[in-house]
Amino acid sequence: MLRAIPATLMRGGTSKGLYFDSSDLPTEVAARDRVLLAALGSPDPRQIDGLGGAHPLTSKVAVIGRSSNPDADVEYLFLQVAVDKAEVSASQNCGNILAGVGPWAIENGFVTPTAPVTPVRIHMLNTGSMAIAHVPTPLGVVEYSGETRIDGVPGTAAAIRIDFVDIAGSSCGLLFPTGRIVDEIEGLTVTCIDNGMPVVILRAGDFGLDGSESPAEIESRSDIRARIEHLRLTLGPRMNLGDVTRKTVPKMSLVSPPMAGGTISTRTFIPHRVHEAIGVLGAVSVATACAIPGSVAATAAGPTDANSPSLFEIEHPTGSFTVEVNIRQTGSAVEVRRAALLRTARKLMKGAVFVPASAWAPS
């Protein structure tokens, strides 16, 4: 017997996933995870028996509900569904899938639209932090069409500006979780930072790379993958993340000088595949590091635009990503005053996903 669950399939930024009303899913976590694994078709490298796209970037879930937080309109839980193993992780936020939360909330009656733009205040449950998505609603309904282009997505769509509120240290407790701007580990200099996403920033040159390599080229190097994973497992506890063996954080970002006129070039492990672009909050963390003298990112970065000193162009394998970061540094103390960026989203399908009724049964 199959059970139907209301769901919306959406592209958010450079990711794609299923969006659910929290009231339509089991409240018990183990049962919820079984349902989501069945919905996406995991574990299976092709996800042939579900709606997943056989890649971490297209095997994602947003669970959205009304918020009890008076400062928020909705609450959003991001879940990463593993492709090739029976695992669902809530250990991180996803800023790409976040781009679809505002439109979904408006279309499902959680937020009343106001022309021409509707702000949607989102409580991100993974980290307890807040974001405000500014959704175009010129005629009182969500407008998906527009002229904004983001690298990694064909065509153009309506711009959704996302402001992040007080996200520094949201996963690790501190902007620099180790208490230092740079750390020395096994002969390498690294920067561990968390401005919405825990990221370890490393020099690509330290791994024999010039930074122009494709994700496939880097993934073909088993020696590099093994060393990156060893460093991730070693640094996870130092970043207050505990044992990260089964976690999707920290991300590991290899940086090099810009190659296409941007601020810095990146190749990012997420954590076991190399991202075809870069995650939204990962880009925010890298951009923040670019703004802080002495960090690994700052030493690799090119000069910033004197007319827009808070705008950072983060290059990635399929283009670049503009992030606005404004910081105030007093001595060794760093305060992130603003972080914002533009994303787009598109509704692809709305209906019901069918899963075996047995998946719903309590453990």
User: Could you tell me which of 12, 334, 74 has the C-alpha nearest to residue 194?
Assistant: 334
2-159+345-360: CATH topology: Diaminopimelate Epimerase; Chain A, domain 1 (3.10.310)
pLDDT one digit per residue (tens) for the chain, 363 residues: 999 999 999 999 999 999 999 999 999 999 999 999 999 999 999 999 999 999 999 999 999 999 999 999 999 999 999 999 999 999 999 999 999 999 999 999 999 999 999 999 999 999 999 999 999 999 999 999 999 999 999 999 999 999 998 899 999 999 999 999 999 999 999 999 999 999 999 999 999 999 999 999 999 999 999 999 999 999 999 999 999 999 999 999 999 999 999 999 999 999 999 999 999 999 999 999 999 999 999 999 987 766 667 999 999 999 999 999 999 888 778 899 989 999 999 999 999 999 999 999 887
Q: Which CATH class is domain 183-334?
A: alpha beta
pTM for this predicted structure: 0.89
Give the pLDDT score at 125: 97
Give the pLDDT score at 306: 62
Give the pLDDT score at 363: 72
Structure tokens of 209?
């790379």
Tell me where in the chain the CATH 3.10.310.10 domain(s) lie.
Answer: 2-159+345-360, 183-334
- 3-state SS track over the chain: CEEEEEEEEEEECCEEEEEEEHHHCCCCHHHHHHHHHHHHCCCCCCCCCCCCCCCHHHCEEEEEEECCCCCCCEEEEEEEECCCCCCEECCCCCHHHHCCHHHHHHHCCCCCCCCCEEEEEEEECCCCEEEEEEEECCCCCCCCCCCECCCCCCCCECCEEEEEECCECCCCCCCCCCCCCCEEECCEEEEEEEECCEEEEEEHHHHCCCCCCCHHHHHCCHHHHHHHHHHHHHHHHHCCCCCCCCCCCCEEEEEECCCCCCCEEEEEECCCCECCCCCHHHHHHHHHHHCCCCCHHHHHCCCCCCCCCCEEEEEECCEEEEEEEEEEEECCEEEEEEEEEEECEEEEEEEEEEEEHHHHCCC
Give the pLDDT score at 308: 67
Give the pLDDT score at 248: 93
Supply angle C-alpha 167, 170, 173, rounded to 5.
Answer: 130
